[in-house]
């Protein structure tokens, strides 16, 4: 079960969620962040402070919808709110552990969290390509488990994969972060290269985590990018509908079990 203010927060960083009709519960809110400069892909220090101040004022801390994967670094701020030792379970086609440049980014936020968030005890990354970014994590290397695309093939049954995730998490409560680029292009469309996980496998894992671990929070990103012209193109409409269907299924899985 979700243990903290179980509602939904929609972050308005771009227009990617505004074009979807999602079944949000009465306990939801929208936090506007699109007026903050210095946020696209990387987050400068001014933007980081502004985002954190607005997040602190929100009411609901159960599920956070972020929008495009370009803003996945927002998860770093959400992890900083966890008040007890915990494990991160990240479903993502990328490890987001790139060597850290000066600015927080969608490509390095996991690395930054591992070294700067003391209560983060373990990270389990599911569905990513092995990009070699984990080998130089030094003292934190042993705290990270990568279940890459090869592991998904070996653990082909959803139950086996879910058992392996629970084993890697250990006894800790869990924060779940989902980038839909982990999914096969048949199930989701993003502006990054897609993974190979099928949606039913992800849903099974989410229900398993809910049943067997206390969930501190969940976030979801990986929306199709929207522009005023692209939003009305036939391709964009198809991709938006595909992602909306995936989002609906994920939100149902997070409420079940």
Cα–Cα distance, 102 to 26 (Å, whole number)? 40
**Per the domain annotation, does 221 fall within a domain?**
yes
In a domain, 64, yes or no: yes
Cα separation, 209 vs 65, in Å, equals: 19
Tokens linked to 22: 């999602």
pLDDT given at position 229: 60
**Structural domain span for residue 188:** 8-255
**Between 139 and 50, whose confidence is greater?**
50
Domain assignment of residue 3, yes or no: no
| Contact by Cβ (8 Å): 249, 201 | no
Query: Is residue 211 situated within a structural domain?
Result: yes
- pLDDT band for 2, please (50, 70, 90 cuts): low
Per the prediction, the chain carries an average pLDDT of 93
Q: Is the pLDDT of residue 6 over 90?
A: no
Q: How many residues does the chain have?
A: 257
> Domain for residue 57, yes or no?
yes
Residue 217's CATH number: 3.40.800.10
| pLDDT tens figures, 97-134 | 998 778 999 999 999 999 999 999 999 999 998 878 88
Kindly report the pTM of this predicted structure: 0.95
Measured distance CA(65)–CA(177) in Å, rounded: 10
28 pLDDT band (50/70/90 cuts)? very high
Domain annotation covers residue 87: yes
Output 3 or 198, whichever has higher pLDDT.
Answer: 198
Tokens of 183: 């999914």
- Cα gap 134→222, rounded to integer Å: 22
Can you give the pLDDT at residue 1? 53
Instruction: Report pLDDT for 192.
Output: 82
pLDDT at 71: 97
DSSP string for 114-177: HHH-TTEEEEEEES----STTTT-GGGGGGEEEE-HHHHHHT-SHHHHHHHHHHHHTTS-EEEE
What mean pLDDT do residues 92-98 have?
95
For residue range 200-232, what is the model confidence (pLDDT) as tens digits?
999 999 999 999 999 999 999 999 988 756 556
Q: How many domains does the chain have?
A: 1
Report the Cα 129 to chain-centroid distance in Å.
16
pLDDT tens-place string over residues 147-193: 999 999 999 899 999 999 999 999 999 999 999 999 999 999 998 88
Share of the chain above pLDDT 90, in %: 82
- Measured at the CA of 60, the angle between CA 55 and CA 66, to 5 degrees, comes to 55
Distance (Å, whole) CA 240 – CA 224 = 6
Q: Is residue 1 a part of any domain in this protein? A: no
Q: Residue 199: inside a domain, yes or no? A: yes
């Amino acid at each position: 079960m979700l243990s903290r203010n179980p509602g939904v927060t929609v972050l308005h960083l771009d227009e990617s969620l505004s074009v979807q009709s999602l079944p949000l519960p009465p306990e939801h809110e929208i936090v506007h962040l699109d007026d903050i400069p210095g946020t696209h892909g990387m987050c400068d220090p001014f933007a980081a402070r502004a985002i954190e101040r607005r997040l602190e004022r929100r009411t609901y801390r159960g599920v956070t919808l972020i929008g495009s994967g370009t803003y996945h670094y927002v998860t770093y701020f959400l992890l900083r709110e966890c008040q007890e030792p915990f494990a991160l379970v990240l479903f993502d086609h990328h490890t987001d552990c790139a060597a850290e440049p000066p600015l927080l980014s969608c490509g390095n936020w996991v690395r930054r969290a591992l070294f700067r968030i003391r209560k983060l005890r373990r990270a389990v990354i599911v569905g990513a390509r092995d990009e070699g970014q984990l080998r130089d994590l030094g003292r934190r290397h042993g705290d990270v488990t990568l279940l890459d695309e090869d592991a998904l093939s070996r653990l082909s049954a959803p139950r086996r994969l879910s058992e392996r995730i629970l084993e890697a998490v250990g006894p800790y409560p869990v924060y779940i972060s989902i980038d839909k680029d982990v999914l096969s292009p048949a199930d989701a469309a993003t502006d990054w290269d897609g993974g190979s996980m099928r949606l039913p496998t992800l849903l099974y894992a989410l229900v398993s985590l809910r049943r067997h671990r206390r969930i501190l929070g969940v976030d979801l990103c990986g929306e199709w990018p929207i522009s005023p012209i692209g939003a009305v193109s036939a391709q964009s409409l198809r991709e938006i509908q595909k992602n909306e269907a995936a989002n609906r299924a994920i939100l149902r899985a997070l409420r079940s079990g």
